[in-house]
């Protein structure tokens, strides 16, 4: 059953703690993306990767970090430097090129207490 | 950087009424994609438009790409409660990334 998975679905953290969100895909896609969505807002790009061991900053990369050690996996770390981390985080993947549709995971809702 | 604007931000309609959302870019786009996100869900791809003036239909949904490739619209005829959700456009201006609009949230009263 091909798809893209994210875990956990809900995550709570205390201020000052780093937290890592998981994203895995078995669609054999080269490109993977992380977006942040705030209530009633659109999707803002945090980071993207088009090949293993390489990734690029998106529009709102400050306070976040990523790694791409395997084609299937693109974890996102929300660091304590992120001023307002409470949000819905969406991971997506696609074949290379902007003419290919993006497939989204179910998302992780992060709440900072 | 590239910006893609969507209007309106919200739309309430009575079931059976039509609905339209508009997507506008200040720069020429190579392509436009449309996605739908149901409440509590994740965006799901609907369609892609590539050619100037292109029109595509999916049942009650009609998608258009402007002649100048700077704007696009999604029109839903005779809305149903199943149409509820947020509709996003995303466009590319010959770079290597798609930029998403802010979305239009559609609410349908039965």
pLDDT score at A92: 96
Please state the three-class secondary structure of chain B as a single string. Answer: CCCEEEECCEEEEECCCCEEEEEEECCCCCEEEEEEECCCCCEEEEEEECCCCCEEEECCEEEEECCCCCEEEEEECCCCHHHCEEEEEEEECCCCCCEECCCEEEEEEC
**pLDDT, tens digit (0-9, with 9 covering 90-100), for B55-103:** 999 999 999 999 999 999 999 999 999 999 999 999 987 666 789 999 9
A85 touching B (Cβ < 8 Å): no
Q: Which of A50, A98, A107 sits opposite B98 (nearest CB)?
A: A98
Q: How confident is the model at residue A1 (pLDDT cuts 50, 70, 90)?
A: low
List chain A residues with CB under 8 Å of B21.
none
List chain A residues with CB under 8 Å of B45.
101-103
Mean pLDDT for B41-45 is 96
pLDDT score at B96: 67
């Amino acid at each position: 059953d091909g798809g893209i998975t994210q875990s956990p679905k809900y995550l709570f953290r205390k201020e000052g703690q780093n937290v890592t969100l998981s994203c895995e895909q078995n669609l054999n896609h080269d490109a993977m993306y992380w977006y942040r969505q705030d209530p009633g807002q659109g999707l803002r790009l945090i980071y993207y990767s088009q090949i293993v061991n390489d990734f690029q900053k998106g529009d709102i990369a400050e306070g976040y970090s990523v790694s791409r050690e395997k084609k299937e996996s693109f974890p996102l770390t929300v660091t304590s430097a992120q001023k307002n981390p409470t949000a819905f985080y969406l991971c997506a993947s696609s074949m290379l090129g902007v003419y290919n549709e993006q497939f989204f995971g179910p998302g992780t809702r992060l709440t900072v207490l | 950087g590239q910006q893609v604007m969507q209007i309106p931000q919200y739309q309430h309609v009575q079931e059976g009424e039509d609905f339209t959302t508009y997507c506008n870019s200040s720069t020429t786009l190579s392509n436009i994609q449309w996605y739908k996100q149901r409440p509590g869900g994740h965006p799901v791809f609907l369609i892609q438009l590539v050619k100037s003036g292109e029109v595509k239909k999916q049942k009650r949904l009609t998608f258009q790409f402007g002649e100048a490739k700077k704007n696009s619209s999604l029109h839903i005829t005779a809305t149903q409660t199943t149409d509820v959700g947020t509709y996003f456009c995303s466009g590319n201006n010959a770079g290597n990334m798609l930029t998403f609009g802010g979305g239009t949230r559609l609410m349908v009263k039965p």
